[in-house]
Structure 1
Amino acid sequence: MADTDHNWRIWGERDPYYAVLTDARFRSGNIEENRQIFFESGETYVVHWLEHLERHFGGLARERALDFGCGVGRLTIPLSRQFKAVVGLDIAPVMLEEARRNSEGLGIEYLLSDDRLSRVDGGFDFVCSCIVLQHIPVTRGLAILRRLLECVRSGGGCLIQLSTKRNQSQWHKLGYWIRHNVLGGQVVMNLVRGRAADTPVMQMNEYPLDVVLRLFSAHGFGDILVRHDDHGGTETATILARKA
């Protein structure tokens, strides 16, 4: 199986903004002219979901927030305008370096992540992870999600986005399996698709929504909203919840 952490670090070195949002405008050669669009998308996202949370669940304390899989700071930066203290976590040191440059003067704390979130101390009023868990194998991802839910303070909110189903042809499914499970398969499939041989894989995983929701319930989240979306054949669930 492909090493998703290793591949993410490579993406961070080669094309960090595109790795966060797979849009040609955010390729390394295009990002400077589209940087404002990139970060405005994060601002809109954060404001929308915080308003949605408070509209449904009531006011939220604004002391401390956590962004898991923060990348270059797309969501972390707008969170810093909503909370007194913000922590961003990512597995790729290069992503963290870029996020720090983007956040200069904002006082955001960026930390190297691991599966236990071992560098994180204390609780948070808001925890989010968006377009991240889908790139992590399900068993690992569920363990990370468990830790994220543990980090939410009583009365705090949580926003988690993950993929639940990939609707692909048999050919695409076969190619995906070869890339991730056959020695040299990634190189071969890159060449077949006209890409550079060493292009890293961006793994996509399907999370069982019933298992995920049981985790929320087990960690004291009695109020839960779920939004379903279809992104070109990849179905996702955005989960907004409040801890009792």
Structure 2
Amino acid sequence: MADSDHNWRLWGERDPYYAVLTDARFRSDRIEDHRQNFFESGQAFVAHWLTQFEAHFGPLPRQRALDFGCGVGRLTIPLSDHFETVTGLDIAPAMLEEARRNSAGRQIDYVLSDDALSRVEGTYDFVNSCIVLQHIPVDRGMNLLGQLLGRVRPGGGCLIQLSTKRNHGKWRELRYRIRHAVPGGQAVMNLIDGRAADTPVMQMNEYPLDAVLRLFHENGFEKMVVRYEDHGGTDTAMIFARRD
């Protein structure tokens, strides 16, 4: 299996905004012309889903929020408009440095992540992770999800997005499996596609929704809302829930 952490660190160094939102406008050589669009998309996303959460579950405490897989701060920054303090977690140091530059003057603490969330302290009123877990192998991702859910304090909530099914077609799926699961496949497929051998790639892992919902239940989430989304040909689930 291709090393998802290594690839994400490379994305952070080479093309951080495009890695967060795979839109050609956000490539490194174009981001300055489209920076406002990038961050406005994050503001709209956060406002929409907080409104959806409170429409279903009532008022949400607004002291502390955690953004897992924060990238360059696209969602972390608008979260700081709604919560007193925010913590952003990411595995890529270059992403964190860019996020800090984007967040000057805000009450945001950017922290290097690991599989144990060892640098995170306490519990939170809201935990967010969107367009992140799909890039992490399922076994690791389920462990991380359990830890994230455990960080939600009673009465608090979360918004979690993950992928459940790749709808690539046979040829594209074969290419995906060679790139991600065959030793050396990433380099070979990059060369076939006319790219540098070490060009980073992104995994789109398939999470079993039944096991995910069971994990929510085991962590004290009795009330959940699941929304289906088509994310570029991949089935994804957007789950928002309150912890009892």
Amino acid paired to 1:161: Q
Check whether the contact 2:157–2:243 (CA below 8 A) recurs between aligned residues.
Answer: yes
Structure 2 gaps of 5+ residues are none
Separation of aligned partners in 2, 1:110 and 1:204: 25
Separation of aligned partners in 1, 2:243 and 2:68: 18
Match of residue 85 from structure 1? 85
Task: Trace 1:145-164 onto structure 2 (pairs within 5 A).
Answer: 145-164=145-164
Shift of 1:171: 1.5
Cα displacement string for residues 122-178 of structure 1 (whole angstroms, at most 9, x for unaligned residues): 110000000000000000000000000000000001000010000112221221121
**Matched residue of 1:46: which SS?**
helix
Separation of aligned partners in 1, 2:183 and 2:140: 22
Shift of 1:182: 2.6
Give the alignment's TM-score, normalised by structure 2. 0.98
Quick one: percent identity of the two aligned structures?
A: 71
Separation of aligned partners in 2, 1:157 and 1:94: 29
Structure 1 residue 76 corresponds to structure 2 residue 76 = yes
Shift of 1:107: 2.3
Deviates more, 1:161-170 or 1:13-22: 161-170
Separation of aligned partners in 2, 1:17 and 1:65: 22
Match of residue 113 from structure 1? 113
Aligned residues between the structures: 244
Match of residue 123 from structure 2? 123
Shift of 1:192: 2.0
**Matched residue of 1:226: which SS?**
strand
Match of residue 14 from structure 2? 14
**Matched residue of 1:221: which SS?**
coil
Deviates more, 1:179-188 or 1:110-119: 179-188
Cα displacement string for residues 165-212 of structure 1 (whole angstroms, at most 9, x for unaligned residues): 001122212211211233321122112223232211211100000100
Match of residue 177 from structure 2? 177
Separation of aligned partners in 1, 2:140 and 2:184: 24
Shift of 1:116: 1.1
Separation of aligned partners in 2, 1:129 and 1:59: 20
**Matched residue of 2:242: which SS?**
strand
Separation of aligned partners in 2, 1:202 and 1:209: 21
Cα displacement string for residues 58-83 of structure 1 (whole angstroms, at most 9, x for unaligned residues): 00110000000000000000000100
Check whether the contact 2:84–2:107 (CA below 8 A) recurs between aligned residues.
Answer: no
Match of residue 221 from structure 1? 221
Cα displacement string for residues 100-125 of structure 1 (whole angstroms, at most 9, x for unaligned residues): 00001102100000111110001100
**Matched residue of 2:222: which SS?**
strand
Match of residue 98 from structure 1? 98
Amino acid paired to 1:216: F
Structure 1 gaps of 5+ residues are none
Separation of aligned partners in 1, 2:78 and 2:224: 23
Match of residue 235 from structure 2? 235
Separation of aligned partners in 1, 2:131 and 2:240: 14
Give the alignment's TM-score, normalised by structure 1. 0.98
Amino acid paired to 1:153: R
Separation of aligned partners in 2, 1:32 and 1:91: 24
Match of residue 26 from structure 2? 26
C-alpha RMSD over aligned residues: 0.9
